[in-house]
Amino acid sequence: MSVSRAEACRRWLNALCEYMDGELDEELCAELERHLAECAPCTTMLETMRHTVALYRRWGRAELPEEMLQRLKSIVHSHLSSDTEASTA
């Protein structure tokens, strides 16, 4: 890989995130797509970053235990009740 190619890849690496999110400026977008068409490593970076986000989007949310949800509801209720009693006392 030539030095200029490596430098181009480094520059584009910083734009991949915005590109993935559809937040990259239109002109830069076209320029990046031309680069991607001829650069396998950058294409792999883009694909593997997309996989990373997709995996976390699907599996990355910690699940709230049902009993915790019930405790939360009852604690919030009891706090609100004691607030109302205090304000009407």
**Among the listed residues 38, 44, 19, the one whose alpha carbon sits nearest the alpha carbon of residue 29:** 19
Q: Do 12 and 32 contact (CB within 8 A), yes or no?
A: yes
Of the candidate residues 5, 18, 29, 35, the single one contacting other proteins (CB under 8 A): 18
State the minimum distance, in angstroms, from the CB of residue 30 to other proteins. Answer: 20
Q: Which of 4, 27, 60, 85 binds other proteins (CB under 8 A)?
A: 60
**21 touches other proteins (CB under 8 A):** yes
14 binds other proteins (CB under 8 A): yes
Cα angle value 61/54/28 (rounded, 5°)? 130
